[in-house]
Amino acid sequence: MKPLSPSTQALLHAVLTPETNPSAIARWLAATDIERLEAGQFQLLPLLYQQLHGRADGHPWLPRLKGIYRRAWVANQLALKAAHAALEVLAAARLPALLIGPAALSLTVYADPATRPIGAALVLTPAAARQAAIQALTAAGWQPSPGTDSLAAPRFERWQAGHLFVKPHSATEPLQVRLCWHGLAQAPSPAWSAQWFDRAAPLANPSIQASTLDPTDQLLHSLAASPALELIPLVDGQRLITQHPIDWLRFVRLAAASRLTFMLGERLALIQGLSGLHLPDRLLTELQQTDSPGYAATAWRLDQINPWERSPWQRWRLSYALFRQQAAAQGVVPHPGNFYDYLRAQWSTDSLAATLRRGLGRIATPPPLPHGY
């Protein structure tokens, strides 16, 4: 794994330990420029504010962190409202649905839901119910974003784990929810979705009536569903492991079936090394000894590079490695026709010309620099 900077190491030491770690917080404050945060750090700031509040009241960064925490609270409230509205639509249509990902984690393993930013809430429906779910949401005023006339096409079911839907709510903030028909974007297997529904459990939180993944499946999802640069999956994983029983045999079996052992092993090793969490004997060895294809390591390594720093060749290699990952998880031959369908699904394009334009733009033009760079 790419070596962590002193700033990132200190921040992870601060938030991964069960109790507040003043020395780690002090090291992060000394090693960090608040105007130029490293990749993955911003999402951890609401949690860091909770640890600093009442312990460093005179620190000049505290008002800034308090503002970030409050914005996270407001955004999470809107995300949960959107999830509740979408789940009500699907329930009225008698379609099964689960609340998964950050929204479920914020309500189950974080004492203060505002400390775990949600983004767009993820609602999972079985792949077989995908078109019915799309029709139900559309009839209720939700629209796909970006819009596409062919969302019901088979390529979207195979090569896309889900799609963002929006609904007008206020003059400035629409409701947003991501309807998913595969639990994992990197391993889109309908068989897994069926298993996850069979093992689902009611969400242990009175603020929203829904079911979610069982802890083992939730751990797999939290560690595997995010880009390599994100740090908050490490906190999610550490809290799931310490707060819930994990079926490690199932975890290793699913990791191998998904071809995700490399990524999962890297993240679990980092959690153990930084938090001192005890993992079962031989767990990491079993993950490391499982045959892992070369494209899995390639995808993980390229995904650790800041997007705006990747060369055109690296951006192309990353897209192809992620395609190989999804194809292997489904047992699909990675021939050029499937790669074309994959790109059209990822970019929501409806023609060859549009796909070529979008592809050339993605490859030739890096994303804009974030604030502070």
pLDDT tens digits in sequence order for the chain, 373 residues long: 667 888 898 889 888 876 777 788 888 888 888 888 888 899 999 998 888 876 666 778 888 889 999 999 999 999 999 999 999 999 999 999 999 999 999 999 998 889 999 999 999 999 899 999 999 999 999 999 988 777 888 888 888 889 999 998 876 789 999 999 998 888 887 777 788 999 998 987 777 888 999 999 999 999 998 888 899 999 999 999 999 999 999 999 988 888 889 999 999 999 999 888 889 989 999 888 887 788 888 999 999 998 888 888 998 999 999 999 999 888 889 899 999 999 888 888 888 888 888 888 877 777 776 654 4
**Residues in the chain, total:** 373
Nearest alpha carbon to residue 102 among 241, 223, 272: 223
Tell me the sheet residues that pair with 143: 166
- Other CB atoms within a 10 A radius of the CB of residue 335 amount to 9
Nearest by Cα to 327 from 365, 293, 285: 293
Q: Is 146 exposed, middle or buried (0-12, 13-18, 19+ CB in 10 A)?
A: exposed
Distance separating alpha carbons of residues 173 and 168, to the nearest angstrom:
8
Q: Is 31 helix (H, G, I), strand (E, B) or coil?
A: helix
CA distances in angstroms from 193 to 3, 182, 213, 225, 240, listed in the order given: 34, 6, 10, 14, 20
The predicted-structure confidence for 174-204, as pLDDT tens digits, reads as follows: 999 999 999 888 888 777 778 899 999 898 7
Q: With the CA atoms of 296, 300, 303 and 309 taken in that order, what torsion angle do they form, in degrees rounded to the nearest 10? A: -110
How many other CB atoms are found less than 10 A from the CB of residue 259? Answer: 22
Residues whose CB is less than 8 angstroms from the CB of residue 340 and which lie 6 or more positions away in sequence, other chains included = 355
For the stretch 35-81, pLDDT in tens is 888 888 999 999 988 888 766 667 788 888 899 999 999 999 999 99
Whole-number Å distance between alpha carbons of 257 and 212: 22
Helix 352-364 and helix 336-347: axis angle, to 10°? 80
Alpha helices (H) along 35-99? 45-52, 62-92
Residue 258: both structure tokens together:
């998904």
SS3 percent helix, strand, coil of the chain, rounded to 5, is 55, 5, 35
